[in-house]
Chain A
């Protein structure tokens, strides 16, 4: 048989398979969570209806949530109660103890736009540079950053979004960075 033909067909199926894997938002009735018999199926908003309008990403919800917020695609409420104080913080921290990987830059701004200080401090992270024995095993196990990343925030397959500071380029010192130093750089 014509081998080129077989190869061609296989390559087509391969690209079809890859396409299927990257299929965009699944309808609720097919998501293997919602009961197709549930009356809710015809009432609830479909993911594609909302998410297709937001800045795209290639992973997670296929939405860049930080961009969606910062570029005002969405205006989610910060509080329910009038007396709740809204806290945000502009502070980048570079973590240098990352083995052979690029160093980690943690930006407080996008995190505090979504979360309150108390969500992480001191429940998940001690509020002191160098005081947290963060490691990838714990993170993959759902601790530290893994509390959200890999669950609701971008997944742990995106190494370079955190490990973003190349050692041969960075001239500063690990720890708290001067304001605005790395702040405005996109996380990817």
Chain B
């Protein structure tokens, strides 16, 4: 009976190795490397032969408060909730409100926004997911 409740030094080492390697694999298995708040916009881009758009929140919030885009410009606060076309941007709506050569660079620099890896889905990528309970 005594042998069953106490661990031999070997089994203790094995347990430690097991738990440490578990931590090791968890740490390395699925690292989120995209920057927190990075949004991929790919509703149309790839279908029309362009790379997906990467929108970095971190870059924009250094320069503009949330309220500028989400109140004045009318961007909905939900990834995938904005039906943005290049036509509208060209007319000065959405991104085109700033990316017009006055506040920021013009939309002729296609590649600067359309810079994503092929196959990315429209979503917030760099963040802890908020798309369902139990994902934590």
Contact = CB atoms under 8 A, between A and B. Distances in A.
A116 B65 CA distance: 9
Given A34-B117, A38-B111, A61-B58, A150 B130 contact: yes
Interface of A: 3, 6-7, 10-11, 13-14, 17-18, 20-21, 23, 25-26, 30-35, 38-41, 43-45, 47, 50-51, 54, 60-61, 63, 65, 74, 76-81, 84, 86, 113-116, 118-119, 124, 137, 139-142, 146-152, 155-157
Given A41-B115, A141-B131, A79 B68 contact: yes
A44 B115 contact: yes
B23 interface: yes
Interface in B3-32: 9, 13, 16-17, 20-21, 23-24, 27-28, 31
A64 to B, nearest CB: 12
Interface residues of B, number: 64
Given A38-B51, A80-B68, A119-B71, A33 B37 contact: no
Given A31-B33, A140-B135, A17 B27 contact: yes
A115 B38 CA distance: 19
A61 B130 contact: no
